[in-house]
Amino acid sequence: MKFAHLADTHLGYRQYGLFEREMDFYNVFNHIIDKLIEERPDFVIHSGDLFEFSRPPTNALLNVQKGILALKDAGIPVYAIAGNHDIIMRKNALPPHVLFKEMGLKIISPKNQFFIENDIFIGGTPYVSKHQATYLTESLKNLELMSKDYDKRILVLHQGIDKYLPFEYELELANIPESFNYYAMGHIHARITDDFGQGKLAYPGSTEIWKIDELGNYQKNGKGFYMVDMGGDIPEIESINMEMSREFLRENIVFPELDAEIEKIKNHISTLSNKPLLSLTVEGGNFNRSEVYDKLNQVFSDICLSLRPNFKSQSLIDAEEILKDVSALNPHKLISGRLKEFENQKITDLALSLFNEMSNGNTENAEEISKKFYEEFYDN
């Protein structure tokens, strides 16, 4: 008995506003459907963030429709829950998944908390935010009760767990019932497998590079989905790796070596069949940013799909060092002090994490953190 587990396909996401990137996310999804039909699992579980938005572009809906019908033709049932991207946090809001119910998609929801497939219990809850943690813990206890008479039990969730996402979790490992054999997780975009409960807890990760900081985990663990064999006492997880449509290059260049490094990157790009995404940091030395920018643009704008340059001149590095040394000027302390009057640690935490991300140039992370903050506290 084997099933496939995937998550975080984020269909409809147009990274950097690029049409080609939207297509890349569809491409890998379609290749996964082909691969699933080839591998013939007994069923498929999608653990949330099927779509990037709760109102996906038509093209995203069409790709899912095509995939679900192909799996239906192949006789492979598909189970899914909604992730934080699939649904707005409002009572009775419906995820776009409901459009595919008549085509056979089995949606795990508060209404249908579980299904039985091949005598296996497949149950879970869609994403909930951190301030609904008590509700989540309660429904997990209920799921534990509902599943207790089945030999094999799968719990499907789209949540961050404290152990793996210490700053942005909604769920503590200690609050997850230990009676399940497989924890089919979604939400964290890195691939993670761990021993937990009666078997394994696993995040298959996102299927494309949704954010540049996923690059490290992708290079180490690949991207794709899991094939899970539930035949033995402990589930066996096999990673199925998918090829990405294009390379994501992240390079750091020390200014004095700029020309030689540009040459190296150019040579590498000439070996690729599709235009890569290039994120370049030039640091050290006192250089003229706009001159370096023009040079990079001239070399890379035609051979890359996107060029994202960052600059860190020596004077900026020096200033950072000074700030680190002088504790009176510690920006963290200054921020915390200034925000004390709010008497709300969450606001201080928000400001500190925004400061950390923005000062490292991670505007995408900062955006995501603010979005989450507002979702959690104001979007009800």
Residue 10 identity (one-letter amino acid)? H
* Helix, strand, coil shares, percent, the chain, to 5: 45, 20, 35
The CA-to-CA distance between both ends of the chain, in Å, stands at: 41
- For residues 31 and 150, the answer to whether their CB atoms sit within 8 Å is no
Phi, psi at 148, each rounded to 5° = -65, -20
Q: Which residue, 152 or 187, is less far from Mn ion as judged by CB?
A: 187
Q: In the bound complex, what is the minimum distance in angstroms from residue 263's beta carbon to Mn ion?
A: 37
Residue 306 identity (one-letter amino acid)? S
Q: In the bound complex, what is the minimum distance in angstroms from residue 8's beta carbon to Mn ion?
A: 4
Q: Which residue, 214 or 357, is less far from Mn ion as judged by CB?
A: 214
State the residue for tokens 């869609």: 126
Residue 128's CB is within 10 A of a number of other CB atoms, namely 19
Interface residue list for Mn ion (CB under 5 A): 8, 49
Q: In the bound complex, what is the minimum distance in angstroms from residue 194's beta carbon to Mn ion?
A: 19
Residues, the chain, total?
380
Q: Residue 286 CA to chain centroid, in angstroms?
A: 37
CA-to-CA distance for 106 and 45, rounded, in angstroms? Answer: 9
- For residues 7 and 205, the answer to whether their CB atoms sit within 8 Å is yes
Q: Which residue, 49 or 208, is less far from Mn ion as judged by CB?
A: 49
C-alpha dist (Å) from residue 319 to 127, 267, 316, 328, 330: 42, 35, 5, 14, 12
Sign of CA pseudo-dihedral 175, 147, 225, 60: negative
Q: Which residue, 67 or 160, is less far from Mn ion as judged by CB?
A: 160
Q: Which residue, 161 or 253, is less far from Mn ion as judged by CB?
A: 161
Q: In the bound complex, what is the minimum distance in angstroms from residue 230's beta carbon to Mn ion?
A: 25
Q: Which residues are catalytic?
A: 85
Q: In the bound complex, what is the minimum distance in angstroms from residue 105's beta carbon to Mn ion?
A: 19
